[in-house]
């Protein structure tokens, strides 16, 4: 059992939980994730470890509430328990040892970028972060990332930082000086746009495919992705890959595979499906 020691709302549907998991806190590395199993019959949820504190034995999980299981998870309060937290899983982020790295985070992906920027700074790498959200209330982890270097904030509506997409700011930074590598984490369309931008410039780009992971073991096949002529599984071979090799068309398709089932699950949790079944039975 893993106790929740702190809870914070970061944006309208994103919540931070600091969870007691001392063994994971001691050995986790940037890019790795855990499998969270809330209760005996609950779904397995893969979540990136956004931060950790080996002294307090806590790991930080940042959860976007989009379905039944994630809504149940963020409904927990300080003092509540998560039945199982397994990890760390996945390959650690490949870090450069010198030079300038550009870290790009979109939405909840900004929390995944955080440990990468943290690890790069510890190695003496110059870090610039570009983060974005729909508006000011959707921007997260700005102050945390400022510890490691310059942060440029972008919002779609211009309510905070500069108006526009993260790719607009990234294009200017890439044009202004030498950048050895780009790390991009966020919605699949955003990562695709970043990869398209850097491909022509010849700048190596690493993307995180954690949005497509399901069970975290490679057994379900749900996170299968094509990299050039190779087939990989995001949870056991990644979750980070060369963005210039990822087949984003296939990845976007795969993300919609379980959408109908998730919608049914939410409806049943709200009691809607029971009403629909009753209506059908009485018809």
Per-residue pLDDT tens digits for 191-224: 999 999 999 999 999 999 876 666 666 666 677 8
Task: State the number of CA atoms in the 13 A half-sphere of 201 facing the CB.
Answer: 21
pTM to 2 decimal places: 0.85
Within 8 A by CB and 6+ apart from 143, the residues are none
Q: Which domains does the chain have, with CATH numbers?
A: 2-89 (2.40.30.10), 100-211 (3.40.50.80)
Residues of 155-187 as b/e, b for ≥16 C-beta within 10 angstroms? beeeebbeeebbbebbbebbeeeebebbbbbbe
Query: Does pLDDT of 172 surpass 90?
Result: yes
The per-residue pLDDT for 270 is: 60
* Contacting residues for 243 by C-beta, under 8 A, at least 6 apart: 182, 184, 191, 194, 195, 198, 205, 206, 207
Q: What is the pLDDT of residue 227?
A: 84
Q: What is d(CA 129, CA 101) in angstroms, rounded to the nearest whole number?
A: 8
Q: What average pLDDT does the segment 29-36 reach?
A: 92
CB neighbour list of residue 34: distance below 8 Å, 6 or more residues apart:
21, 24, 46, 47, 49, 59, 61, 85, 86, 87, 88, 89
**106 — pLDDT class (breaks 50, 70, 90):** very high
Residue 280 has pLDDT above 60, yes or no: no
Q: Which of 180, 184, 163, 200 is nearest to 239 (CA)?
A: 184
For residues 46 and 36, what is the distance between their CA atoms, to the nearest angstrom?
A: 6
> Positive or negative, the Cα torsion across 228, 229, 234, 240?
negative
């Amino acid at each position: 059992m893993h106790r929740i020691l702190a809870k914070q709302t970061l944006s309208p549907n994103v919540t931070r939980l600091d969870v007691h998991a001392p063994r994971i806190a001691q050995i986790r590395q940037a890019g790795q994730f855990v499998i969270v199993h809330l209760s005996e019959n609950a779904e397995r949820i893969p979540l990136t470890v956004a931060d950790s504190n080996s002294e307090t034995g806590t790991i930080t999980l940042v959860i976007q509430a989009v379905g039944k299981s994630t809504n149940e998870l963020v409904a927990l309060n300080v003092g509540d328990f998560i039945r199982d937290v397994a990890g760390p899983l996945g390959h650690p982020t490949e870090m450069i040892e010198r030079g300038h790295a550009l870290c790009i985070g979109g939405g909840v992906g900004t929390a995944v970028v955080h440990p990468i920027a943290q690890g790069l700074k510890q190695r003496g790498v110059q870090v610039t972060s570009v983060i974005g959200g729909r508006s000011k209330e959707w921007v997260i982890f700005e102050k945390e990332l400022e510890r490691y270097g310059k942060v440029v904030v972008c919002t779609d509506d211009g309510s905070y930082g500069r108006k526009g997409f993260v790719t607009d700011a990234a294009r200017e930074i890439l044009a202004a000086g030498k950048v050895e590598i780009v790390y991009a984490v966020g919605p699949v369309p955003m990562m695709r746009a970043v990869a398209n931008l850097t491909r022509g410039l010849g700048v190596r780009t690493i993307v995180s495919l954690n949005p497509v992971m399901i069970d975290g073991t490679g057994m379900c096949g749900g996170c299968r992705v094509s990299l050039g002529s190779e087939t990989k599984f995001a949870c056991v071979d990644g979750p980070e890959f060369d963005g210039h090799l990822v087949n984003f068309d296939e990845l976007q398709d795969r993300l919609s595979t379980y959408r109908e089932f998730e919608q049914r699950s939410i409806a049943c949790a709200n009691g809607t499906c029971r009403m629909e079944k009753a209506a059908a039975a009485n018809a």
